[in-house]
Amino acid sequence: MEFFSGSSEAINTEAAVKELVETALNGTSPNDIKLIFFHTAVGHKGQAIIAAFKKMCPHAELVGCTASGVIGRERVSEKLRVIAAMLMTGEKDEFATVAKDQIFGPNSHDVALAAAQELKNKLPNIKFISVIASGVNLDADKVIEGIESVFGKDVDIFGGTSGDQMQAKHTFQFHNETEMEHGIILAGFTWPNYEMIMLSHHGNKIMGDAMTITKIDHNRIWELDNKPAWHVLMDRLSLDYMTDFAKTIPLTALLVEIPENLRTDYHNQVRVLTIFMADEKRESFYLPTNLPKGTKLWMSMRDEDFMFEGRDWQVNKILEKLHGRKPLAVFHTDCAARGKKTFDVIEKDHFVASMKNPITQDDKSIPWLGMYGFGEFAKIGDSNLFSTQTSSLCVLVNKD
């Protein structure tokens, strides 16, 4: 496969897609493009994007989602009208895509399993799977379990969950001509001659004493320490229970321990699980995972020094694994809560450039597609893991 990437901040959707495609391909025929991944902020309408891509690249399958912003080869942008894409050539025996609608926390395993089985029926020898899924009320751990029950634990899962402008109200996924609000899209690749180097890192540290889950239903947390779960969090933050939910998103990032065998490769003993949904009465909340009763959770606080130190660790580990090889393409999933919309103190352009430049060896032509979404999938060590508030870098290279 060949990879090309581009982005555009043009206000008109058709003009934006045209600029993106022409800049990315730089002379390669759009008719050769067989698969397009794209991320868009919520200012562009999904059907207009789909129509524009179909007009420019008529033979391409489309996989996309909304996000708080995009990370492209040329720019980092959280404007309302911005779009970025990875355009790929390929043969029928190299990739396949499937989509399922109406995925929620309680049925995440079964819907993901059905999608994975359909994908395997299309293309059996898949080694890598990109996941794009709803950013609200998803059980991402069960999604991983569903996929692995079909493809085994050796499959490499990457991708993320869709986002909006940090409101956690409506996030959208796109597959060919279909637009979904609660969907999941799997894109599987055989790629026998490629490997993917994946690392994630977050900059959050434990704040305060642990809380224990004492009542849970699937991914809905009803009680912490035998009290209404949402009340416990708001009391710790000294906030009213009915505080505008969007304002609580960056404040309610919870931490949970990860298995000891993952801690070295994750550069941490805990992962972040951000809350993107609470009930109308503000008593319970939903996590993007299904945790057992008795699990310990912690509130967290962002530590900038740790975030920057972690970024350097992440880049250096990737460079170590690259052994001097240049990437074929980079798939980057970042959390919306780490973008400039939430944390103005961090100059995001510089933060991203300090990852891009070393990994690409300052080669601005290397395709790079990223988004600020609501969660990130990546292979950590030998385990597929879902987290939030991380920078997850998935670097595709030729095998040594």
pLDDT in tens, 5-30: 999 999 999 999 999 999 999 889 99
Average pLDDT over residues 52-76: 95
**What mean pLDDT is reported for the chain?**
94
Give the residue among 187, 172, 204, 381 at the shortest CA–CA distance from 303: 204
Does position 83 have pLDDT exceeding 90, yes or no? yes
CB 137 within 8 A of CB 213: no
Residue scoring higher pLDDT (349 or 397): 397
Task: Please report the pLDDT score of residue 400 as a whole number.
Answer: 79
Question: Can you tell me the distance from the alpha carbon of 233 to that of 242, in angstroms, rounded to the nearest whole number?
Answer: 12
Question: Can you tell me the distance from the alpha carbon of 169 to that of 278, in angstroms, rounded to the nearest whole number?
Answer: 11
Predicted confidence (pLDDT) per residue in 245-267, tens digit: 989 998 999 999 999 999 999 99
Task: Please report the pLDDT score of residue 345 as a whole number.
Answer: 40
Residues 103-138: b if buried by 16+ CB within 10 A, e if exposed:
bbbebbbebbbbbbbebbeebeebbbbbbbbbbbbb
Predicted confidence (pLDDT) per residue in 91-141, tens digit: 989 999 999 999 999 999 999 999 999 999 999 999 999 999 999 999 999
CB 87 within 8 A of CB 4: yes
Does position 76 have pLDDT exceeding 70, yes or no? yes
Q: With bands split at pLDDT 50, 70 and 90, how would you rate the model's confidence at 340?
A: low
Q: With bands split at pLDDT 50, 70 and 90, how would you rate the model's confidence at 353?
A: confident
Task: Please report the pLDDT score of residue 350 as a whole number.
Answer: 80
Q: With bands split at pLDDT 50, 70 and 90, how would you rate the model's confidence at 295?
A: very high
Does position 339 have pLDDT exceeding 90, yes or no? no
Does position 300 have pLDDT exceeding 50, yes or no? yes
Task: Please report the pLDDT score of residue 89 as a whole number.
Answer: 97
Residue scoring higher pLDDT (290 or 395): 395
Does position 347 have pLDDT exceeding 80, yes or no? no
User: What are 392's strand-pairing partners?
Assistant: 200, 333
Q: With bands split at pLDDT 50, 70 and 90, how would you rate the model's confidence at 337?
A: low
Average pLDDT over residues 161-169: 87
Residue scoring higher pLDDT (157 or 78): 157
Does position 342 have pLDDT exceeding 90, yes or no? no
Task: Please report the pLDDT score of residue 169 as a whole number.
Answer: 86
Which region holds residue 379: left if phi is over 0, alpha if psi is between -120 and 50, else beta? beta
Does position 304 have pLDDT exceeding 80, yes or no? yes
123 is written with which tokens?
């293309």
